[in-house]
Amino acid sequence: MKRVSIKFRVPYILSRMTALFMILILLGGCGLFGGKPASNEGTGPMAPAPKVERYTGEKSREIPYVYTAKKELALTFNGMGDKATMTALIDELDAWGIKATFFLPGMRVAEEPDIASAILARGHEIENNTLNQLDMNKLDYDQIYKEIKLANDVIKRETGAEPRYVRTRSGDYPADVPLAAAHLGMKAVVSYNINPKDRNMQSAEEIGEYVAKFISRGGIISMNTDVNPEVISSIQYIAQAADDIGYQLVTLNELVENGGERKPLEQIPGYDAARINPDYQQAKYELVYKVDTNKKEVALTFDDFGSDKTVTRILDILAEHDVKATFFLRAKGVESNPNLARAMVEGGHDVANHSYSHPVVTSLTPQELQEDVVKAHQVITEAIQQQPVMLFRPPTGVVDDERAKALAAVGYPVIAMYDVTTLDWDISNSAKDIVNGVMTKTERGSVILLHMLDDIHTIEALPSVLEGLQGKGYTFVKMADMMQQNKAATEME
């Protein structure tokens, strides 16, 4: 895609020469890309700028995504296409009511400042995409600092906007980039966690499908303005994907300001509640299939992990029916999407341990099982920023005496089983099958097992399950609470 048409070639060359001259002035005589100065002598205006010493303070924040349970994510763009492309892109964003964040190369802003000004005038954000989008891995600290600083200077000079965030062309960067960003007083170095790979020239529909598949709370979508023209047409699909799940596209700074920072694992109380313990032979455990109670109470539980679209819909349905549940999480999924686990907690639900890698526990040695469960405990704890409920559910519901003792010794003496299952994980079981199974099998104190996997019929069945049981007079209680209430009632008798 040509950036400038032939009839504008002369003005373009003049603007580029002006931009280059301005950058040279800002450099104070240094080479354009942080190289050798034109002269090693003299004290005039073309004398070499002093070499920038490496910053020794704390590096800036690094943001691949924002830690938040809010239904928000940011749409960001790299580079700066020609005027026609950028105008069309901004018009499309306006049509869908989206405010985006544009990471602009300083040189392009110097060449065509009117484009950058138009982006700001439409209510979008401008941030730093470095001066020339060079590979930072090939530069020393002095050069990295100047690539970022000069882009800041140009953007501020031409638009009045002062960049707070910096991103490299690829999103990858060496350790000197966060140091230089901190040196310059910037808020963060930003990468992304949703990359539709528009550089591979996918169609607008394919870009939209990718975003829909990987959309996440606190996510940062990264696309390019100067490579694939289909990016413009993809905006409608991205907007529809967010709307379908009930998520809002906001500017990067708004996302960051609304989000939080995760404490390191070791600072969270209860992070070490699960520990490797080879001395397990005498450990005591309890298998809980249901709770012996006279109350018409049941515990609704969900196993495994799913996409934002699936899990958010489950959370929405539970909220609509004022039901609290217990989620047994496959921690490998939590590791890649901690915000979704945090959303469960903020919704008033309990989260518990369903292993890290979802093995059949009897296929592991006791030591391997303990290692898997401790890893899962730590991943879940760090994701939700608090200790999870100390219940463990074995994948497939299979456990033997030796593994149960190993689980108890590691810190999980209560093994949470279930008495109501409809095999909803099997896509051949329809929503009607799931509803009928739950309604037929549920009794006082039942523990109902469902799954939060994608592409099964559980979501279709869930409203009827909740309404049907509530219609029969049942109330829903989190599993740990139901067990505790029954224990307290028994002790009082």
183 is catalytic: no
Query: Half-sphere exposure of 25 toward its Cβ, with a 13 Å CA cutoff?
Result: 9
φ, ψ dihedrals at 125, nearest 5°: -100, 150
DSSP run (H or E) holding 409: helix 401-410
d(C-alpha 66, C-alpha 254), whole Å: 10
Active-site pick, 349, 358, 377, 451: 451
Residue 490, exposed/middle/buried by CB under 10 A (0-12, 13-18, 19+)? exposed
Q: Of the listed 142, 198, 303, 424, which one is catalytic?
A: 303
Cα→Cα distances 297→437, 451, 478, 484, Å: 18, 20, 10, 13
Annotation marks residue 354 as catalytic: no
Calpha distance 336→357 (Å, rounded)? 13
Residue 327: beta bridge partners?
302, 351
d(C-alpha 273, C-alpha 162), whole Å = 46
Cα 394 to Cα 407, 408, 414, 437: the distances in Å are 10, 13, 11, 22
- In this structure, are strands 447-451 and 326-329 parallel, antiparallel, or unpaired? unpaired
Enumerate the active-site residues.
303, 451
